[in-house]
Structure 1
Amino acid sequence: MAGYRTPYLPVCIVALLLSACTGRNNKKLPIIGEREAVERVVDGKTVVDTLYHQIPAFTFLNQDSTIITDKDFENKVYVANFFFTHCPSICPTMQRNLLKVYEKYKGNDKLAFLSHSIDFKYDSPSVLKSYATKLGVDNAQWQFVTGSKKDIYGISEKYLVYTKEDASAPGGYDHQGYLVLIDQQKRIRGAYDGTNEEQVAQLFTDLEILLQERP
């Protein structure tokens, strides 16, 4: 069934998420994804820095037919996900749950929302605009974007979210319903099943922690 595949997140990442849930007293969320140790010389001494997985630069078209890039999310915490407007399976529940988060933080300029449509054929800006309006989104804090198949499906991999055009899946597309939490440095700090009430509640908790974290 669409949206209920074996998680795309690697086992090590799931383990990080579980360990984070048991260690909230530390008030620090894990940084998820591959990392690389890089040596550099400072004042004649060799030090080791850690390079973390980051969301790369992107350019998409939003519901107002305006170009949206990663620069629009500079120095912001944001929640990203993947959906399509006529999705008959997980999207309605996922988007309603994300709407709860949007409504709580509406007007907070430190937090943004980014929904990528995986239906590059049908979900034009005008369709996305109608969808956003019906959902109850009435400001620029939540962006709904479209792009080429290559760009949308390519960026989903960077968020560690499974997406696929699949004629056998409900609505013609298969995807996961993760709500992915991104920090000010474009690093993944959490991933939550948007159809699961407990995980959405955890997103609320983790957002408070991340918004208080110094960049």
Structure 2
Amino acid sequence: MNKQLIAVVVIIIGVIGSVFWLKIKPKNDLYTVMKVPSFSMTNQNNVTITDRDMLGKVYVVEFFFTSCPTICPIMSQNLRAVEDEINNNNLGFISITIDPKRDTHERLLEYANKIGVKTPNWHHLTSDRASIEKLADQFNIYVGKDETTAEGLNHSGKLALVDKEGNIRSRYDKAGIPILFYSGLNYKDPEGKEPSLNGKYHPEIELLKEDIKKLLAE
């Protein structure tokens, strides 16, 4: 009898959980991580860009610096591929330098031209170092100093996806857990387990493209 009662309770809990999940499950099966942190910075054209300016657009946020010799060129190349494939006026990109001392507006503009940016919605932003570090913390994306590198800087290869209403969104992994961010890196393997500067696979960029298209359709 006790075993039967336990089984019934488990079934009831499962049903309630399923109903609750269906109610909170976001549109397009994309998880809402949090509101995008507010920001106000100047872009490569010395124009102030804020989070409010990006409302109504789906956009991707990254942290980088123009003299980065390793992952930044890869991330830029992958985002350019996203820009080319989707080619939508409501798609934007926010690239925030972590090296404001050297990354002047002129240098950011030169970098944007170098990588072949086409859309006016791609903003390479700068501010003071403290504001940039604070914003990275609010995004939960690592940036920091690293004396073991020639540039003395280090950062994550994570990308944040933001919807038209200013919410950071992400898909769920196979276990049903939100991935929170997308990797902008290349990998040796199709599964994305071993990062490589010379890798030819970028599985999470492909996922990012799919999810951008979903958000553009919302």
Could you say which TM-score interval applies, normalised by the shorter chain?
0.7 to 0.9
Q: Does 1:206 align with 2:211?
A: yes
Contact 2:86/2:209 (8 A) holds in 1:
no
Contact 2:164/2:215 (8 A) holds in 1:
no
Which range is displaced more, 65-74 or 112-121?
65-74
Q: Name the residue aligned to 1:65.
A: 46
Contact 2:59/2:162 (8 A) holds in 1:
yes
Q: Counting strand residues as a fraction of each chain, which structure ranks higher?
A: 1
**Larger relative contact order, structure 1 or 2 (CA cutoff 8 Å, min sep 6):** 1
TM-score (norm 2): 0.72
CA–CA separation in structure 1 for the residues paired with 2:127 and 2:209: 29
Output one character per residue of 1:173-210: Cα deviation in whole Å (capped at 9) or x when no partner: 11001121011222211211101311111111111112
Which of 181, 195, 205 is the matching residue for 2:161?
181
Which of 179, 195, 202 is the matching residue for 2:185?
195
CA–CA separation in structure 1 for the residues paired with 2:96 and 2:216: 23
Kindly report structure 1 stretches of 4+ aligned residues shifted beyond 3 Å.
none
Change (3 A) 1:170 1:202: farther
TM-score (norm 1): 0.73
Q: CA deviation at 1:170?
A: 4.5
Paired residues for 1:46-125 under 5 Å: 53-106=34-87, 108-125=88-105
Contact 2:144/2:154 (8 A) holds in 1:
yes
Q: How many pairs were matched up?
A: 167
Gaps of 5+ in 2: 1-26, 171-180, 187-201
Contact 1:164/1:175 (8 A) holds in 2:
yes
CA–CA separation in structure 2 for the residues paired with 1:155 and 1:134: 26
Q: Does 1:129 align with 2:130?
A: no
Output one character per residue of 1:136-179: Cα deviation in whole Å (capped at 9) or x when no partner: 01341211011111111111122221001222235221100112
CA–CA separation in structure 2 for the residues paired with 1:55 and 1:154: 13
